[in-house]
Structure 1
């Protein structure tokens, strides 16, 4: 990692600059491009994609960035970290190539398409002394962090249970190329579950066992927008998954992830304790209101923001990694644990038995209230 003078508003130590090369310039890169210019410890220096035109379009938006092939970017000595925004099926391949080239890695969720592939990534990184980070970094925002502080401060008493619900009709309605959402590595659990499971780990700590059930409403989906509108794609994964997570603390979290429903007024997380209950903001976002109701209260109260990064978006995890001295909050270890929880839920659904979670992780340290100028 090179040290040089930072430019623009920043959080953290100004002399530490993490030079980032992004691989995969599809839909999600736009959200990163909204955030990275405001992170004084992170600089985007290169972009690569199987479609060179997409890489060139990204590079053209960032002063000094270059459009490269994937292999050129991974080998480039001016790149400290590979930001892996490829589809889940390719996360493993790109991460291993980057680690072999001595690059740090930060990837979109999930860490890999399978636990076995994710284990290979972490093993290679440990052997090479490489730091691995992973989305979701939404849990670092003021929404989840304010809720976490409320739990840590005892505002609900001893936590007992949580519910986490995400229900939609499916991403094919809006995504022009939704194929990968309905193949192994996709589905509501591995696509949206990382936000909810990682938030539950952040709020309540690691998980020791799970039991699940799953179903699939239909075997194909019809694309609703873009040049492929009307085309059908096959479904080869469970599109409705539910289950119970048993946390090390004894808290029981109930999870519902679905691409088969029309709508829900309860697509959120709630945490319940002996003395009160919390409504937690959408874990797919960085901010939002945390609501608290305690025994004896007639009304819910909205809590002031008391923790977390304020006014940020996807990519704040890179800033956190740049300043973390090898121990980022949005870490590979947390992402691995969340992935094992999700994969085990599916295994439980298909075997009808409770599954013990082999991995664990440290509950990431809390984020103090921090504003990016």
Structure 2
């Protein structure tokens, strides 16, 4: 049945991250958030009342709702593929928080199921669709740093157990600094360099248990199942290399470091966990000034600013207009494949090939306006 007007959206999972999604999606004219669902239906009700959503209930209620065309899956990583698969079985498009799944097999199966049903899958992060990363991409495409050669990214701090009231899932399989924060940085690198060809990595775990330091469960101890510090090298199919640090072990905070070096200069991309920020370029100094501090040029930010939810909107418009989402399931799977390969490189002490490939991701159009009503 052909539909018109805003795309009906339902949420499965109404935890902490749902707030920022709801704050934005309820402002986009092309989106109508119909219902919120959660294992804890009282939490779903509370979030619905807070954000002015008219219905709430369970995951089953969301999946069965006739007005829901697109399900936003904000569950924990271990059940991402399962919940997304149920939504696809019910004929819904799916936007899932990252990662697409916690293993390659279920990720591939999910994409195959969606393709067979002629449905679309979108995978976070959508921060890379914001004006910050997109302005940087336009500068690179313009040749402002010449041919991109290499990249360095850093994400390190002491870990989410210091602020999250229920951080256990962030230290379980499918999370840790690599799987939790890696998608922001690796997705940005794939936007710039294309598909990853192979990786090498080392990792460590600072301690076997962690203690919750915020919320009602302060003092509760839990086990750590994954490396909490990972250093990774990547080689890209079309040329280029990168080195990345992902850590929950450092009292010294370095977050949002993304530097792309080309034949004519180095470009700093804003924090890929944010939608905007400063884009700067420095060029090779004269020999006499080699030890002087870099001289930075500001690149003016272009594009309409919005927050989390851009990917859902882009997916919704693609579903109606017959296009493909920019933050696609295929891109999400390639990033998962890369992270699993990095994890294998850590545990097996070898260079690991990344078998999947993803087509070059088109840039966001400069006139993309999330606050415009385009679906009639």
Normalising to structure 2: TM-score of the pair?
A: 0.92
Once residues 364 and 38 of structure 2 are traced to their aligned partners in structure 1, the CA distance between those partners, rounded to angstroms, is 33
1:341 aligned residue: 338
Q: Does 1:221 align with 2:210?
A: yes
5+ residue gaps, structure 1, are 5-14
Report if aligned partners of 2:11, 2:74 keep a CA contact under 8 Å in 1: yes
The DSSP-based 3-state class of the residue aligned with 2:26 is helix
2:301 aligned residue: 305
5+ residue gaps, structure 2, are 287-293, 372-376
Question: CA offset at residue 29 of structure 1?
Answer: 0.2
Once residues 262 and 273 of structure 2 are traced to their aligned partners in structure 1, the CA distance between those partners, rounded to angstroms, is 23
After the TM superposition, which residues 52-131 of structure 1 pair with which residues of structure 2 at under 5 Å, given as runs? Answer: 52-63=41-52, 65-131=54-120
Aligned in 2, Cα 1:358/1:3: closer, same or farther, shift over 3 Å? Answer: same
Q: Deviations over 1:81-100 (max 9, x none)?
A: 11000010111111111111
Report if aligned partners of 2:156, 2:254 keep a CA contact under 8 Å in 1: no
The DSSP-based 3-state class of the residue aligned with 2:24 is helix
1:186 aligned residue: 175
Once residues 326 and 97 of structure 1 are traced to their aligned partners in structure 2, the CA distance between those partners, rounded to angstroms, is 23
Q: Does 1:317 align with 2:306?
A: no
2:151 aligned residue: 162
Once residues 45 and 18 of structure 1 are traced to their aligned partners in structure 2, the CA distance between those partners, rounded to angstroms, is 9
Once residues 229 and 363 of structure 2 are traced to their aligned partners in structure 1, the CA distance between those partners, rounded to angstroms, is 32
1:172 aligned residue: 161
Question: CA offset at residue 267 of structure 1?
Answer: 4.3
Q: Deviations over 1:250-292 (max 9, x none)?
A: 1001111001111244641000011000111000000001110
Once residues 144 and 218 of structure 2 are traced to their aligned partners in structure 1, the CA distance between those partners, rounded to angstroms, is 49
Report if aligned partners of 2:313, 2:370 keep a CA contact under 8 Å in 1: no
The DSSP-based 3-state class of the residue aligned with 1:270 is strand
Aligned in 2, Cα 1:64/1:350: closer, same or farther, shift over 3 Å? Answer: closer
User: Aligned match of 2:227 in 238, 242, 253?
Assistant: 238
Once residues 37 and 31 of structure 1 are traced to their aligned partners in structure 2, the CA distance between those partners, rounded to angstroms, is 10
Normalising to structure 1: TM-score of the pair?
A: 0.93
Report if aligned partners of 1:2, 1:18 keep a CA contact under 8 Å in 2: no
Question: CA offset at residue 327 of structure 1?
Answer: 0.5
